[in-house]
Structure 1
Amino acid sequence: MTAEPDACAVAHGEAEDKPAERTLVAVFASPVSRYLLAYAADAGYRTVLFEPDAARATGDFDVRTTPPELDRGTDVVVTDHHRPELGEVLRTALAGDARWIGVLGNPRHPGPHVEALTALGVPAPDIARVHRPVGLNIGSRTPPEIAIATLAGLLADRNDRPGGFEF
Protein backbone atom coordinates (compact mmCIF):
# COMPACT_ATOMS: atom_id res chain seq x y z
CA MET A 1 0.00 0.00 0.00
CA THR A 2 1.44 3.36 -1.00
CA ALA A 3 1.24 6.37 1.27
CA GLU A 4 -0.83 9.38 0.31
CA PRO A 5 1.36 12.20 -1.01
CA ASP A 6 1.98 15.13 1.32
CA ALA A 7 -0.55 17.92 0.60
CA CYS A 8 2.17 20.57 0.67
CA ALA A 9 4.28 18.65 -1.85
CA VAL A 10 1.26 18.25 -4.13
CA ALA A 11 0.43 21.97 -3.84
CA HIS A 12 3.99 22.89 -4.84
CA GLY A 13 4.04 20.47 -7.77
CA GLU A 14 6.68 18.28 -6.13
CA ALA A 15 4.42 15.21 -6.00
CA GLU A 16 1.44 13.98 -7.95
CA ASP A 17 -1.83 13.37 -6.18
CA LYS A 18 -3.81 10.28 -7.03
CA PRO A 19 -7.17 11.70 -8.13
CA ALA A 20 -10.18 10.35 -6.28
CA GLU A 21 -12.90 8.64 -8.25
CA ARG A 22 -15.71 11.14 -7.88
CA THR A 23 -18.54 12.50 -9.94
CA LEU A 24 -20.61 15.64 -9.55
CA VAL A 25 -24.07 15.68 -11.08
CA ALA A 26 -25.57 19.15 -11.31
CA VAL A 27 -29.31 18.92 -11.81
CA PHE A 28 -30.96 21.51 -14.06
CA ALA A 29 -29.20 23.93 -16.40
CA SER A 30 -28.71 27.21 -14.56
CA PRO A 31 -26.07 29.90 -14.15
CA VAL A 32 -24.94 28.19 -10.92
CA SER A 33 -24.67 24.75 -12.54
CA ARG A 34 -22.46 26.16 -15.29
CA TYR A 35 -19.93 27.52 -12.76
CA LEU A 36 -20.28 24.56 -10.42
CA LEU A 37 -19.45 22.05 -13.15
CA ALA A 38 -16.50 24.12 -14.41
CA TYR A 39 -15.00 24.49 -10.93
CA ALA A 40 -15.67 20.83 -10.10
CA ALA A 41 -13.89 19.71 -13.28
CA ASP A 42 -10.89 21.81 -12.24
CA ALA A 43 -11.00 20.08 -8.83
CA GLY A 44 -10.85 16.64 -10.44
CA TYR A 45 -14.50 15.63 -10.54
CA ARG A 46 -16.07 13.90 -13.52
CA THR A 47 -18.95 16.29 -14.22
CA VAL A 48 -22.44 15.64 -15.53
CA LEU A 49 -25.32 18.02 -16.14
CA PHE A 50 -28.69 16.32 -15.81
CA GLU A 51 -31.35 18.45 -17.52
CA PRO A 52 -34.61 16.58 -18.22
CA ASP A 53 -35.88 19.37 -20.50
CA ALA A 54 -34.16 18.69 -23.83
CA ALA A 55 -34.68 22.32 -24.91
CA ARG A 56 -32.50 23.47 -21.99
CA ALA A 57 -29.98 20.61 -22.19
CA THR A 58 -27.05 22.41 -23.75
CA GLY A 59 -23.52 23.15 -22.71
CA ASP A 60 -19.92 22.09 -22.94
CA PHE A 61 -20.38 19.36 -20.33
CA ASP A 62 -21.55 15.77 -20.36
CA VAL A 63 -25.25 16.67 -20.68
CA ARG A 64 -27.91 14.05 -20.01
CA THR A 65 -31.67 14.24 -20.46
CA THR A 66 -32.20 10.97 -18.60
CA PRO A 67 -30.96 10.40 -15.04
CA PRO A 68 -27.35 9.22 -14.90
CA GLU A 69 -26.33 6.21 -12.85
CA LEU A 70 -25.44 7.22 -9.31
CA ASP A 71 -22.79 5.38 -7.33
CA ARG A 72 -21.07 5.93 -3.96
CA GLY A 73 -18.60 8.27 -5.64
CA THR A 74 -21.36 10.61 -6.86
CA ASP A 75 -22.53 13.88 -5.35
CA VAL A 76 -25.79 15.36 -6.64
CA VAL A 77 -26.60 19.08 -6.42
CA VAL A 78 -30.00 20.38 -7.53
CA THR A 79 -29.36 23.94 -8.69
CA ASP A 80 -32.95 25.17 -9.13
CA HIS A 81 -35.56 24.41 -6.48
CA HIS A 82 -38.35 26.13 -8.44
CA ARG A 83 -38.62 23.53 -11.19
CA PRO A 84 -41.79 21.39 -11.27
CA GLU A 85 -39.66 18.24 -11.73
CA LEU A 86 -37.95 18.79 -8.37
CA GLY A 87 -39.72 16.01 -6.46
CA GLU A 88 -39.42 13.43 -9.22
CA VAL A 89 -35.74 14.17 -9.79
CA LEU A 90 -34.96 13.92 -6.07
CA ARG A 91 -36.99 10.72 -5.68
CA THR A 92 -34.93 9.17 -8.49
CA ALA A 93 -31.67 10.37 -6.91
CA LEU A 94 -32.69 8.99 -3.51
CA ALA A 95 -33.42 5.62 -5.12
CA GLY A 96 -29.85 5.52 -6.46
CA ASP A 97 -26.64 5.03 -4.54
CA ALA A 98 -25.36 8.62 -4.48
CA ARG A 99 -22.95 9.53 -1.70
CA TRP A 100 -24.51 12.97 -1.14
CA ILE A 101 -27.65 14.78 -2.37
CA GLY A 102 -28.41 18.45 -1.84
CA VAL A 103 -30.68 21.26 -3.01
CA LEU A 104 -29.64 24.90 -3.32
CA GLY A 105 -31.86 27.41 -1.60
CA ASN A 106 -32.09 30.07 1.05
CA PRO A 107 -31.97 28.40 4.48
CA ARG A 108 -34.33 31.05 5.87
CA HIS A 109 -37.16 29.67 3.74
CA PRO A 110 -38.73 26.22 3.89
CA GLY A 111 -37.31 23.81 1.35
CA PRO A 112 -39.88 23.05 -1.36
CA HIS A 113 -38.31 19.62 -1.81
CA VAL A 114 -39.88 18.42 1.46
CA GLU A 115 -43.44 19.06 0.26
CA ALA A 116 -42.69 17.72 -3.23
CA LEU A 117 -41.18 14.48 -1.91
CA THR A 118 -43.90 14.01 0.71
CA ALA A 119 -46.55 14.35 -2.01
CA LEU A 120 -44.79 11.56 -3.93
CA GLY A 121 -44.90 9.26 -0.91
CA VAL A 122 -41.17 9.39 -0.13
CA PRO A 123 -40.60 8.35 3.51
CA ALA A 124 -39.39 11.02 5.95
CA PRO A 125 -36.02 9.31 6.62
CA ASP A 126 -35.25 9.44 2.90
CA ILE A 127 -36.31 13.08 2.68
CA ALA A 128 -33.96 13.83 5.59
CA ARG A 129 -31.03 12.56 3.46
CA VAL A 130 -31.40 15.63 1.21
CA HIS A 131 -29.05 18.38 2.38
CA ARG A 132 -30.28 21.95 2.46
CA PRO A 133 -28.64 24.38 2.66
CA VAL A 134 -25.58 23.22 0.78
CA GLY A 135 -22.12 24.68 0.78
CA LEU A 136 -20.23 26.86 3.19
CA ASN A 137 -21.78 29.97 4.69
CA ILE A 138 -19.59 32.62 3.05
CA GLY A 139 -22.37 35.06 2.18
CA SER A 140 -22.38 34.08 -1.48
CA ARG A 141 -24.85 35.87 -3.71
CA THR A 142 -23.73 35.52 -7.33
CA PRO A 143 -23.69 32.28 -9.35
CA PRO A 144 -19.87 31.97 -9.21
CA GLU A 145 -19.84 32.60 -5.45
CA ILE A 146 -22.66 30.10 -4.86
CA ALA A 147 -20.78 27.53 -6.93
CA ILE A 148 -17.56 28.09 -4.95
CA ALA A 149 -19.39 27.79 -1.61
CA THR A 150 -21.16 24.63 -2.80
CA LEU A 151 -18.01 22.95 -4.08
CA ALA A 152 -16.10 23.91 -0.92
CA GLY A 153 -18.85 22.35 1.18
CA LEU A 154 -18.74 19.14 -0.85
CA LEU A 155 -14.97 18.94 -0.50
CA ALA A 156 -15.19 19.52 3.26
CA ASP A 157 -17.83 16.80 3.58
CA ARG A 158 -15.85 14.33 1.46
CA ASN A 159 -12.79 14.97 3.63
CA ASP A 160 -14.72 14.71 6.93
CA ARG A 161 -14.03 18.35 7.74
CA PRO A 162 -16.46 20.93 9.17
CA GLY A 163 -15.64 23.61 6.61
CA GLY A 164 -15.20 27.22 7.64
CA PHE A 165 -12.23 28.11 9.79
CA GLU A 166 -12.34 25.19 12.21
CA PHE A 167 -9.33 22.88 11.86
Structure 2
Amino acid sequence: MTDPACGVAHGAPGEAPPGRVLVAVFDSPVAEVLLRWAPELGFRTVLLDPDPARDAGVRTLAGLPEDLADADVVVTDHHRAELGEVLRDALARRVRWVGVMGNPRHEGPHVAALAALGVPPEEVARVHRPIGLDIGSRAPAEIALSTLAGLLADRNGRSGGAAHGPR
Protein backbone atom coordinates (compact mmCIF):
# COMPACT_ATOMS: atom_id res chain seq x y z
CA MET A 1 0.00 0.00 0.00
CA THR A 2 1.36 3.42 -0.91
CA ASP A 3 1.12 6.56 1.13
CA PRO A 4 -1.68 8.75 -0.38
CA ALA A 5 0.23 11.91 0.55
CA CYS A 6 3.14 10.71 -1.57
CA GLY A 7 0.86 10.31 -4.59
CA VAL A 8 -0.54 13.82 -4.12
CA ALA A 9 2.99 15.22 -3.96
CA HIS A 10 3.59 13.70 -7.39
CA GLY A 11 0.43 15.15 -8.94
CA ALA A 12 -2.26 12.56 -8.18
CA PRO A 13 -5.57 14.20 -7.21
CA GLY A 14 -6.00 14.36 -3.48
CA GLU A 15 -9.09 14.13 -1.35
CA ALA A 16 -11.04 17.40 -1.54
CA PRO A 17 -10.76 19.32 1.74
CA PRO A 18 -13.96 20.12 3.58
CA GLY A 19 -15.53 23.41 2.47
CA ARG A 20 -14.20 26.42 4.29
CA VAL A 21 -14.57 30.12 3.63
CA LEU A 22 -11.75 32.55 4.35
CA VAL A 23 -13.06 36.07 4.96
CA ALA A 24 -10.16 38.52 4.69
CA VAL A 25 -11.19 41.71 6.49
CA PHE A 26 -9.80 45.01 5.22
CA ASP A 27 -8.10 45.48 1.89
CA SER A 28 -4.39 45.21 2.75
CA PRO A 29 -1.18 43.66 1.42
CA VAL A 30 -1.73 40.62 3.67
CA ALA A 31 -5.33 40.24 2.45
CA GLU A 32 -4.10 40.40 -1.14
CA VAL A 33 -1.80 37.42 -0.58
CA LEU A 34 -4.42 35.49 1.42
CA LEU A 35 -6.97 35.91 -1.38
CA ARG A 36 -4.43 34.78 -3.97
CA TRP A 37 -3.16 31.67 -2.13
CA ALA A 38 -6.17 30.42 -0.13
CA PRO A 39 -8.10 28.95 -3.12
CA GLU A 40 -5.09 26.71 -3.83
CA LEU A 41 -5.62 25.29 -0.35
CA GLY A 42 -9.33 24.61 -0.71
CA PHE A 43 -10.75 27.83 0.72
CA ARG A 44 -13.46 29.91 -0.89
CA THR A 45 -12.45 33.53 -0.36
CA VAL A 46 -14.22 36.79 0.35
CA LEU A 47 -12.77 40.26 0.83
CA LEU A 48 -14.70 42.39 3.30
CA ASP A 49 -13.96 46.08 3.61
CA PRO A 50 -16.54 48.55 4.94
CA ASP A 51 -14.78 51.55 3.35
CA PRO A 52 -16.83 52.55 0.27
CA ALA A 53 -13.70 54.08 -1.28
CA ARG A 54 -12.12 50.62 -1.54
CA ASP A 55 -13.01 48.12 -4.23
CA ALA A 56 -13.94 45.29 -1.87
CA GLY A 57 -16.10 42.24 -2.49
CA VAL A 58 -18.52 42.98 0.38
CA ARG A 59 -18.97 45.89 2.78
CA THR A 60 -20.38 44.07 5.83
CA LEU A 61 -20.88 40.53 7.06
CA ALA A 62 -24.58 41.07 6.32
CA GLY A 63 -23.55 40.82 2.66
CA LEU A 64 -22.53 37.19 3.21
CA PRO A 65 -24.71 34.09 3.60
CA GLU A 66 -26.23 33.57 7.03
CA ASP A 67 -24.56 30.18 7.47
CA LEU A 68 -20.94 31.05 8.19
CA ALA A 69 -20.22 28.10 10.45
CA ASP A 70 -17.39 27.13 8.07
CA ALA A 71 -15.91 30.64 7.90
CA ASP A 72 -12.51 31.73 9.16
CA VAL A 73 -12.47 35.53 9.59
CA VAL A 74 -8.97 37.01 9.38
CA VAL A 75 -8.62 40.71 10.24
CA THR A 76 -5.60 41.96 8.32
CA ASP A 77 -5.30 45.48 9.76
CA HIS A 78 -5.76 46.22 13.46
CA HIS A 79 -5.48 50.01 13.03
CA ARG A 80 -8.73 50.60 11.15
CA ALA A 81 -11.51 52.57 12.87
CA GLU A 82 -14.07 49.91 11.88
CA LEU A 83 -12.20 47.15 13.75
CA GLY A 84 -14.62 46.91 16.66
CA GLU A 85 -17.79 46.86 14.56
CA VAL A 86 -16.47 44.23 12.17
CA LEU A 87 -15.37 41.97 15.01
CA ARG A 88 -18.61 42.49 16.94
CA ASP A 89 -20.59 41.48 13.84
CA ALA A 90 -18.34 38.46 13.19
CA LEU A 91 -18.74 37.24 16.78
CA ALA A 92 -22.52 37.74 16.57
CA ARG A 93 -22.69 35.59 13.41
CA ARG A 94 -21.04 32.68 15.19
CA VAL A 95 -18.39 32.16 12.56
CA ARG A 96 -16.08 29.20 13.09
CA TRP A 97 -12.90 31.16 13.82
CA VAL A 98 -11.94 34.84 14.22
CA GLY A 99 -8.38 36.17 14.33
CA VAL A 100 -6.66 39.56 14.33
CA MET A 101 -3.09 40.28 13.27
CA GLY A 102 -0.94 41.84 15.93
CA ASN A 103 1.98 41.69 18.29
CA PRO A 104 1.27 39.25 21.14
CA ARG A 105 3.42 41.30 23.55
CA HIS A 106 0.81 44.09 23.63
CA GLU A 107 -2.92 44.02 24.20
CA GLY A 108 -4.64 44.37 20.87
CA PRO A 109 -6.76 47.44 20.13
CA HIS A 110 -9.65 45.08 19.44
CA VAL A 111 -10.07 44.45 23.17
CA ALA A 112 -10.91 48.09 23.98
CA ALA A 113 -12.90 48.53 20.75
CA LEU A 114 -15.10 45.54 21.57
CA ALA A 115 -15.50 46.55 25.22
CA ALA A 116 -16.62 50.03 24.11
CA LEU A 117 -19.31 48.37 22.00
CA GLY A 118 -20.55 46.32 24.97
CA VAL A 119 -19.22 42.96 23.80
CA PRO A 120 -18.89 40.65 26.83
CA PRO A 121 -15.35 39.55 27.81
CA GLU A 122 -16.10 35.88 27.03
CA GLU A 123 -16.91 36.87 23.44
CA VAL A 124 -13.78 39.03 23.20
CA ALA A 125 -11.81 35.97 24.34
CA ARG A 126 -12.96 34.11 21.19
CA VAL A 127 -10.77 36.42 19.07
CA HIS A 128 -7.42 34.79 18.30
CA ARG A 129 -4.38 37.04 18.40
CA PRO A 130 -1.82 36.71 17.00
CA ILE A 131 -2.90 34.70 14.00
CA GLY A 132 -0.99 31.93 12.31
CA LEU A 133 2.00 29.85 13.25
CA ASP A 134 4.94 31.45 15.02
CA ILE A 135 7.50 31.52 12.19
CA GLY A 136 8.77 35.06 12.82
CA SER A 137 6.65 36.57 10.04
CA ARG A 138 7.28 40.19 9.11
CA ALA A 139 6.42 40.68 5.42
CA PRO A 140 2.84 40.39 4.09
CA ALA A 141 3.54 37.11 2.27
CA GLU A 142 5.12 35.63 5.41
CA ILE A 143 2.13 36.66 7.54
CA ALA A 144 -0.27 35.17 4.97
CA LEU A 145 1.76 31.95 4.81
CA SER A 146 1.79 31.67 8.60
CA THR A 147 -1.96 32.37 8.78
CA LEU A 148 -2.86 29.83 6.10
CA ALA A 149 -0.58 27.21 7.65
CA GLY A 150 -2.30 27.70 11.01
CA LEU A 151 -5.75 27.43 9.44
CA LEU A 152 -4.69 24.29 7.56
CA ALA A 153 -3.35 22.73 10.74
CA ASP A 154 -6.64 23.50 12.46
CA ARG A 155 -8.69 22.16 9.54
CA ASN A 156 -6.66 18.94 9.59
CA GLY A 157 -6.84 18.53 13.38
CA ARG A 158 -3.13 19.21 13.89
CA SER A 159 -1.27 21.49 16.27
CA GLY A 160 0.82 23.16 13.59
CA GLY A 161 4.07 22.46 15.43
CA ALA A 162 6.99 20.40 14.24
CA ALA A 163 6.09 16.71 14.44
CA HIS A 164 9.66 15.54 14.95
CA GLY A 165 13.21 16.74 15.33
CA PRO A 166 16.04 16.48 12.84
CA ARG A 167 16.61 13.10 11.24
TM-score (norm 2): 0.89
The corresponding residue for 2:98 is 101
Structure 1, unaligned runs of 5 or more: none
Q: Is the 8 A contact 2:35 2:46 kept in 1?
A: yes
Runs (4+) off by over 6 Å: none
Select 1:74's aligned residue among 67, 71, 74.
71
Contact 2:71/2:97 (<8 A) preserved: yes
Q: What is residue 127 of structure 1 aligned with on the other side?
A: 124
Aligned residue for 2:80, secondary structure, equals: coil
How far apart are 1:6 and its partner, in Å? 2.7
Quote the Cα distance in structure 2 between the aligned partners of 1:101 and 1:14: 33
**Which one of 148, 151, 156 corresponds to residue 148 of structure 2?**
151
| CA RMSD, 1 decimal | 1.6
Amino acid at match of 1:80: D
1:102-133 per-residue CA deviation (whole Å, 9 max, x = no partner) reads 00011111111111101111011111000001
Q: Secondary structure at the match of 1:121?
A: coil
**Conserved in 1, the CA contact under 8 Å of 2:73 and 2:98?**
yes
CA distance in 2, matches of 1:150, 1:99: 15
**Take 2:105 and 2:163, find their aligned partners in 1: how far apart are those partners?**
24
State the aligned residue count.
159
Whole-Å separation in 1 of the counterparts to 2:85 and 2:155: 26
Q: Which residue of 2 aligns with 1:30?
A: 28
Aligned to 2:159: 162
SS in 2 for 1:19: coil
TM-score (norm 1): 0.89
Q: Secondary structure at the match of 1:24?
A: strand
